[in-house]
Structure 1
Amino acid sequence: MTVDGVPAGAQRRCAVAGSPIAHSLSPALHHAAYAHLGLDWEYGRHELVADQLAGFVAGCDPSWRGLSMTMPLKEAALELGEVDEIARLAMAANTLVFEDDGARRVYNTDVGGLVNALTAAGLHGVQSAVILGTGATARSTVVSLARLGVRRITVVARTPAKALPLISLADYLGVQLTVQPWTDPAVASDLLISTAAAGAVDDRAPEWVAVNAAVFDVIYDPWPTVLAQAGAAQDRIVLSGLDLLVHQAVLQVELMTGSTVPAEVLYDAGRTALAANSPA
């Protein structure tokens, strides 16, 4: 018996795509989720850049159920199917679901993942935040902060002109957003979120931590980052990219399988994978 070309009980296929992708923890997290749910599903990884994405997706057969997408695919992903409202707002997507009727639906689970990670860390009532960086993750962060009730955001940018779309987005969401050049003095807030590349914040990490009550660095490997170390040294609440990765993956698993999995199952898998990859 088949359903829309997929044999009943057949193994479904999912994967993560991006470039570089060899370091990704997503296979470890999703396989842990499948084991917890009793699913004999496959989850692989594919090295793809933006102009390869549409062709790859077009070649996916009916056994495919989902594709997680990381950089540099989060903007190109918006062209792959019916786009969820949150992904449209953030102008970035990280999840593609292949429906059994042939439809393709595009989502952004980074937004909900960040909200859930901050909530799980007890960061309630945040009124102001600083975002370091202006890329796709920064856009999702603006949407997440608005959903948490944050009213004032400062975006720190090496090239302030690149932050213009964030100003329009914040205006639409009813959030006050200002842009500050990278070299200006650190701004105080309830929460500092770095979406910048590894090492970009290192030379000013203690300065930024000193005037911010909590620190979230979206990098998870190598860990701890200089920013995270500065946060710990100054007794701040510190969150890592693993917190974001786990909580967004919980939402991806639900979209792809229809079932929920406890975040701690994915945390355990992520920590084990990171430990295995660490230098002896």
Structure 2
Amino acid sequence: MTRLALLGSPVDGALSPVLHRAAYEALDLPWTYHAVECPPQDLPHFLSTLDGTWRGFSLTMPLKQTVVPLLDEVSETVTRIGAANTIVMTPSGRLLGENTDLYGMTQALREADVTTATTVTVLGAGATACTALAAGRELGCEQAVVIARDTGKASFLLGPAAERIGIEISIKSWTAAGQHLAADLVISALPPRAADALAPLWTRGAGTLMDVAYRPWPSRFAHVAQEAGRRVVGGLPMLVHQAARQVVLQTGHSPAPVTQMMLAGRREAHWFK
């Protein structure tokens, strides 16, 4: 038996098992994939008890940063962002860390014809915000604004983190959000519904909103942005593309069956828009 799993806390209702199982079915792989509740304090012990039946893991919050020092080897992307969402376990038991969130985010944006961005505003200051900043840099942005509900907790984005990503970062308080929604690209890296309170702050204009939340969809924040003239990119395409990249890394099969994964995700999340 070959096993894979999603690790995090909480993982109830996570869509990753649906996406990976759809991929394994399309690839005719008799593998299993489950969601495993794993708070940060349990992660070191869990990883130390793995046997040869395991092939890899997906990681969700709050483990993406916690896992990095526990891995045997990490990619350049993990080093740059400071977070890993993927583990590939080798036959010898080595744990290799990768970040496919960046690939998923940039791929979803490019599918929506977002290929450049001079100005970027990121809502949130966690691991996904780091990915959003890296995505902004890949689209050509050199200076970005981070809107944080707690500016003190966002301070880790300054200094070495900003240098690794290669972008100049300005941290602003939640009350300043309305002044920065006119950016070429706004990325909400917040949990579901967390950005909805900012919806009344949208003004008429162009640009793009990417809301990484995918359920419920559309969020109020995304709906009002679209009504105000913004192109809106939801979180489901990002989730599917990052999972597809995980499938390639963990199974060795390329390309991943993205179409089947997207259909399964849409059905499960009732994502019809």
Asked if TM exceeds 0.5, the reply is yes
Which residue of 254, 261, 272 maps to 2:267? 272
- State the SS of the aligned residue for 2:198: helix
Which residue of 65, 69, 72 maps to 2:59? 69
1:206 Cα deviation from its structure 2 partner: 3.6
Distance 1:84 1:211 in 2: 38
Tell me if structure 2 keeps the 8 A contact 1:80–1:106. Answer: no
Give 1:52-201 correspondences, 5 Å limit.
Answer: 52-81=42-71, 82-168=73-159, 169-184=161-176, 185-187=178-180, 188-201=182-195
Distance 1:32 1:209 in 2: 40
Deviations 1:176-229 (A, max 9, x none): 321111102421211111112333322221424645611111111122111111
Distance 2:223 2:102 in 1: 25
Distance 2:124 2:157 in 1: 11
Deviations 1:149-180 (A, max 9, x none): 22221111122222222232233443232111
Question: What are structure 2's unaligned runs of at least 5 residues?
Answer: none
The one-letter code matched in structure 1 to 2:260 is V
Distance 2:163 2:52 in 1: 41
Deviations 1:48-81 (A, max 9, x none): 1001112112222101001101011111111232
Q: 1:173 to 1:25 in 2, by over 3 A?
A: closer
Distance 2:109 2:30 in 1: 32
The one-letter code matched in structure 1 to 2:120 is A
Tell me if structure 2 keeps the 8 A contact 1:186–1:211. Answer: no
Deviations 1:92-116 (A, max 9, x none): 1111111012211011111111111
Which residue of 209, 212, 219 maps to 1:218? 212
Query: Percent identity over the alignment?
Result: 37
TM-score (norm 1): 0.89
- State the SS of the aligned residue for 1:122: coil
Q: Answer with 69-78 or 178-187: which moved more.
A: 178-187
Distance 1:171 1:212 in 2: 30
TM-score (norm 2): 0.92
Match in the other structure for 1:38: 28
Deviations 1:107-128 (A, max 9, x none): 1111111111111111012111
Distance 1:182 1:66 in 2: 37
Distance 2:165 2:128 in 1: 17
Tell me if structure 1 keeps the 8 A contact 2:206–2:231. Answer: no
Aligned length: 267
Tell me if structure 2 keeps the 8 A contact 1:189–1:213. Answer: yes
- State the SS of the aligned residue for 1:189: coil
